[in-house]
A and B are shown apart, each in its own frame.
Chain A
Amino acid sequence: MTFILTTKTELYKIFSRPRTYIAYAAILIIILAIQFAIYADGQKLLDFTTQNLRESFDFSGNLLNGYFISYLILNALWVHIPLLVALVVGDLLAGEANMGTFRFILTKPVSRITLCTSKFIAAILYSASLIILLGILSLALGVLLFGSGDLIVLRDTINIFSEDDILWRFILAFAYGLLGMCVVAALSFFLSALSDNSIGPIIGTMTIIIACTIFSSLDVSIFHYVRPFLFTTYITEWRSFFDYQIDYQKITKASLVLLAHIVILFSFTIYYFNKKDILS
């Protein structure tokens, strides 16, 4: 009961801060901007991409539809959503330390573990709200503006999925995307526990993500050994749901690695926060 009450309080705190709404506004603006850009130039780009195919095939049907736009927007997930997650989650512990409210909170009959867990659950729920908003807005607005139809996915192969074979892929991709964002939240939360001001965890999270993304993406042999241990190697695995033959074994492994990151980072946070001297 105390745990639920503390979590509700933490959610109230998150949603009473103006910075929380920056993330929602950013998502809305990004989605509208991408949709406007695709509305203006999408057909030309799609024609350019498929020009080799057009030389050999006649096309029938609309490929520039809401699902295609949603897929493009989802591709931006790993670029901008981590920053939006870090912006709020990085402040959860460090912000309290900075404002000197920990002493007051911890005078209540709430254990540090309960408080820390409540804050983390609130962070997860906030991250989930971002992903759900991203999913609903991109899909609903996309279908409303561009209509529905089969989905074309441009990867190393051109994958075309029938309309009745798309929605479940999006749902699983968004769910996997949420798992990835939970790792970002766990990292940001851990850095927040280490710091006494919220700027450090936000910048720290982004720096780690950028560095790890470079290590994961660059095809240099020295990074081959560390790559399997970096969460950024797996964070974009949601794209596998748009493969023609889904490698569930690979996705399960990636999900387990991400889950392990969350557990390890959260355990470190609990351990550190339990031992931390609350001086302000």
Chain B
Amino acid sequence: MKKHPLSLFLFFLTLSAWAQQDANTILTGVRTNFLKVKDYTADAEIKVDVDFVKIPIKKAKVYYKQPDKFRFKAEGFALLPKRGANLFTVNLINDNVTAIYIKQEVIGNITTDVIKVIPLDPNSDIILSTLWISRDYKVYKLESTTKNQGTFSARFQYTNHPNNLPAQVEITFDIQKAEIPVGFTLDMESLNKKSQSKNTTGKATVKYSGYLVNTGLSDAVFK
């Protein structure tokens, strides 16, 4: 039997539509998981690894409240990557995106579905993201390209938290080297030192523990 070219086209169109729907179903699953968490408080241990920043491992308390309120308070001074440390505040798991199913991939021993997500909001800083989502709707990996800040990726590790909250996040991101004005530091020695490459890659690891979920966190915490 000779295959009609139109039927082949229709077959792929149907397949594409199914895949598209599948991607949206997966995202909806993740969103449903997210919506169960109205707020949370957690202890965080932050390790920053950027070649021009030397900072010890810091302990902090992180606070989240739906839809996108997030704050962290540290003992002393601490840095927390703006993107990737909290999946809830990455503006991807909402209706205003186009999601495309790509393939299946195994991360560690977890089978994940790989989905490309394109935010439809023209003001969104993220241009394109790829999400690796397990069958129980946990995001295991995220890679994003932004308009102004290059790319960043995050790998999530989970223990057995009932709300599927991560126990560890490893974030890799592009960062520009800070130019330190000599007039401010009075460190004339640095004038002779050759400046390092302006763009570099940073890494941060955030370990979360002691989650307190849906405690009715006050808005005052975020002020």
Are the C-beta atoms of B187 and A56 separated by less than 8 Å? no
Chain B 63-81, CB within 8 Å of chain A: the 1/0 string? Answer: 0000000001110111111
B191 within 8 A of A: yes
A274 within 8 A of B: no
B180 within 8 A of A: yes
- Contacts A60-B80, A62-B77, A149-B77 given: A158-B52 contact, CB under 8 Å? yes
Chain B 179-190, CB within 8 Å of chain A: the 1/0 string? Answer: 111001111111
A219 within 8 A of B: yes
Residue of B nearest to A213 (CB): B188
Are the C-beta atoms of B186 and A50 separated by less than 8 Å? no
A52 CA / B79 CA spacing, docked (Å): 13
- Listed stretches B11-19, B106-114, B130-138, B170-178; interface member: B170-178
Enumerate chain B residues within 8 angstroms of A236, measured Cβ to Cβ.
189
Chain A 114-158, CB within 8 Å of chain B: the 1/0 string? Answer: 000000000000000000000000000000000001101011111
Enumerate chain B residues within 8 angstroms of A76, measured Cβ to Cβ.
186
Enumerate chain A residues within 8 angstroms of B193, measured Cβ to Cβ.
156
Are the C-beta atoms of A163 and B76 separated by less than 8 Å? yes
B161 within 8 A of A: no
Are the C-beta atoms of A45 and B184 separated by less than 8 Å? yes
Are the C-beta atoms of A56 and B78 separated by less than 8 Å? no
Q: How far is the CB of B41 from chain A (nearest CB, A)?
A: 15
Enumerate chain B residues within 8 angstroms of A152, measured Cβ to Cβ.
77
A50 CA / B54 CA spacing, docked (Å): 13
Are the C-beta atoms of A239 and B189 separated by less than 8 Å? yes
Total count of chain A residues near the partner, CB < 8 A: 39
Are the C-beta atoms of A56 and B82 separated by less than 8 Å? yes
Residues 157-187 of A at the B interface (beta carbon under 8 Å): 157-163, 165
Residue in B76, B82, B180, B181 whose CB lies within 8 Å of A158: B180
Residue in A154, A160, A163 whose CB lies within 8 Å of B55: A160
Residue in B54, B76, B181 whose CB lies within 8 Å of A61: B76
Enumerate chain A residues within 8 angstroms of B159, measured Cβ to Cβ.
none
Residue of A nearest to B182 (CB): A154
Among A48, A57, A217, the one with the most B-chain Cβ atoms within 10 Å of its Cβ is A57
Residues 32-55 of A at the B interface (beta carbon under 8 Å): 45, 48-53, 55
B56 within 8 A of A: yes
Residue of B nearest to A219 (CB): B192
Enumerate chain A residues within 8 angstroms of B56, measured Cβ to Cβ.
160-162, 165
Chain B 193-205, CB within 8 Å of chain A: the 1/0 string? Answer: 1001000001000
A86 within 8 A of B: no
Among A60, A61, A160, the one with the most B-chain Cβ atoms within 10 Å of its Cβ is A60
Are the C-beta atoms of A150 and B82 separated by less than 8 Å? no
Q: How far is the CB of B179 from chain A (nearest CB, A)?
A: 8
Are the C-beta atoms of B72 and A58 separated by less than 8 Å? yes
A161 CA / B77 CA spacing, docked (Å): 9
Residues 13-55 of B at the A interface (beta carbon under 8 Å): 48, 51-55
Residue in A45, A55, A61, A150 whose CB lies within 8 Å of B176: A55
- Contacts A61-B78, A160-B56 given: A75-B187 contact, CB under 8 Å? yes
- Contacts A156-B190, A244-B54 given: A50-B178 contact, CB under 8 Å? yes
A27 within 8 A of B: no
A248 within 8 A of B: no
A59 within 8 A of B: yes
* Main SS class of interface, A: mixed
Residue of A nearest to B191 (CB): A217
B214 within 8 A of A: no
Are the C-beta atoms of A52 and B177 separated by less than 8 Å? yes
Enumerate chain A residues within 8 angstroms of B154, measured Cβ to Cβ.
none
Residue of A nearest to B80 (CB): A58
Are the C-beta atoms of B77 and A158 separated by less than 8 Å? no
Are the C-beta atoms of B74 and A60 separated by less than 8 Å? yes
Enumerate chain A residues within 8 angstroms of B185, measured Cβ to Cβ.
72, 75, 154-155
B149 within 8 A of A: yes
A244 CA / B79 CA spacing, docked (Å): 17
A260 CA / B149 CA spacing, docked (Å): 52
Among B60, B79, B83, B173, the one with the most A-chain Cβ atoms within 10 Å of its Cβ is B79
Are the C-beta atoms of A158 and B178 separated by less than 8 Å? yes
Top-8 shortest CB links A-B: A61-B77, A244-B54, A150-B77, A75-B186, A57-B79, A160-B55, A150-B76, A60-B74
List residues of chain B with CB under 8 Å of any chain A CB.
48, 51-56, 60, 72-74, 76-83, 148-149, 173, 175-181, 184-193, 196, 202
8 inter-chain pairs at a CB distance below 8 angstroms, sorted by A residue, are A56-B83, A57-B82, A61-B74, A72-B185, A150-B76, A150-B77, A154-B185, A162-B76
